[in-house]
Structure 1
Amino acid sequence: MRKPVLIIAALAVAATGVLAYVNLTGAPQAKAGECVAVTNGAEVVSTGCTAQNARFKVGRVLPDSGANCPVSDDEYVQVVPSSGGGKLCLLPNLVEGSCYQPADNDDSWGPSACTGEETIKVTKVIAAAGDGSGCPEVDDLVSIVYPEPPTTYCLAPVHKVPA
């Protein structure tokens, strides 16, 4: 009678150990489509997409830190989380109608008042990876396209955005 109890206890301890190992060394905890904040270049925290610090959206989660993000004309920000294992392919979390400036500290765009030379306005967000043909016709418009999740951002310098 004592032997089955020991076996069950040993299995419970082993299962707990395996779960802890997978959680600590496996793929990053963030999921594709989630919004995240990245601090210190590798500390990734899942957050709601409307949070002020949610500068990125997860495009793809790679189980191996040596793997490559999807090929795209517009580059993903690649982060190997400090929590261990895997790699995240991140795209900017931009909101239609909002303005942004480059944030030098983490390869992202930071919210901005709609003024200044480097400021862009997101004129449209298209939930499809295309060629920018669905973007409004504005001088100096730039489209950035990501295949995962399929997203096209239509961006215009603020001094060129129609009133």
Structure 2
Amino acid sequence: MKLAGTRHIVRLVLALVAVAVAVLAVSGCSMLKDASKSDTAKAKVGDCINVIAGSATDSKTAPIDCGDQKAVYKVAAVYDQKTDCKEEQTSYEETLNGGTTAFLCLTPNFKEGACYNESQNTGYKFVDCAAPEASFKVTKRIDGVADEFQCDAGTAVGFRVVPDPKTTFCLGSPKS
């Protein structure tokens, strides 16, 4: 004995199962793509990054609280493919099997009183001021202003200016 409408119920159940499988397939692929990314590559705009070990091809980095002294960079932009970052930004690219999985544009997030190592190949890294690799010390950080003339010409040995968000870093010798 057949009940009236069972064919419609079976079709409805099969349709719901098909939709559920499709949703799982799409979200599963997205989850697998994100699973292959490092914690740094999963960072969002406004997050901060610590450079543990700099390298031109295989840097060791980790997300960190922006208030931490080791928060060397702040994420300014996030892309899925290689993109030109602004002049004052540092690029971070993560690849897997020859393809870009994440591309971040990073802006300096130096702390006043902290010392950093600067390398043309690997960017900036937080270091102890007594360390021989210390390149400079941030003697003054001025938020909301992008003007190197805010640095004292008598004591500053350099500066870094970030136009967005406007920030001026006055630099001195790490030994001072």
| TM-score, shorter chain, exceeding 0.5 | yes
Distance (whole Å) between structure 1 residues aligned to residue 153 and residue 159 of structure 2: 11
Query: What is residue 81 of structure 1 aligned with on the other side?
Result: 94
Query: What is residue 8 of structure 1 aligned with on the other side?
Result: 16
Cα–Cα, structure 1 residues 110 and 44, in superposed 2: closer, same or farther, change >3 Å?
Answer: closer
* Residue 56 of structure 2 corresponds to residue 56 of structure 1: no
Matched ranges for 1:111-122 at <5 A: 111-114=127-130, 118-122=134-138
Greater C-alpha radius of gyration: 2
Cα–Cα, structure 1 residues 4 and 149, in superposed 2: closer, same or farther, change >3 Å?
Answer: farther
Q: 1:95 aligns with which of 107, 111, 115?
A: 111
Q: Deviations over 1:54-104 (max 9, x none)?
A: 432212213322x2112x3x3x22111247534111233321111223368
Identity %, equivalent residues: 28
Cα–Cα, structure 1 residues 123 and 53, in superposed 2: closer, same or farther, change >3 Å?
Answer: closer
Q: 1:21 aligns with which of 23, 29, 32?
A: 29
- Letter in structure 1 aligned against 2:45: A
1:35 and 1:46 in contact (8 A); partners too: yes
Q: Secondary structure at the match of 1:13?
A: helix
Query: What is residue 84 of structure 2 aligned with on the other side?
Result: 68
Distance (whole Å) between structure 2 residues aligned to residue 42 and residue 112 of structure 1: 19
1:138 and 1:156 in contact (8 A); partners too: no
Q: Which of the pair has the greater relative contact order for Cα pairs under 8 Å at 6+ separation?
A: 1
Q: Which runs of 5+ in 2 are unaligned?
A: 1-8
Aligned residues: 155
Cα–Cα, structure 1 residues 121 and 68, in superposed 2: closer, same or farther, change >3 Å?
Answer: same
Query: What is residue 134 of structure 1 aligned with on the other side?
Result: 150
Distance (whole Å) between structure 2 residues aligned to residue 46 and residue 115 of structure 1: 23
CA RMSD, aligned part only?
3.3
Distance (whole Å) between structure 2 residues aligned to residue 78 and residue 117 of structure 1: 22
2:129 and 2:174 in contact (8 A); partners too: no
Query: What is residue 58 of structure 2 aligned with on the other side?
Result: 41
Distance (whole Å) between structure 2 residues aligned to residue 52 and residue 158 of structure 1: 15
- Letter in structure 2 aligned against 1:31: K
1:44 and 1:81 in contact (8 A); partners too: no
Cα–Cα, structure 1 residues 105 and 132, in superposed 2: closer, same or farther, change >3 Å?
Answer: closer
Higher strand share: 2
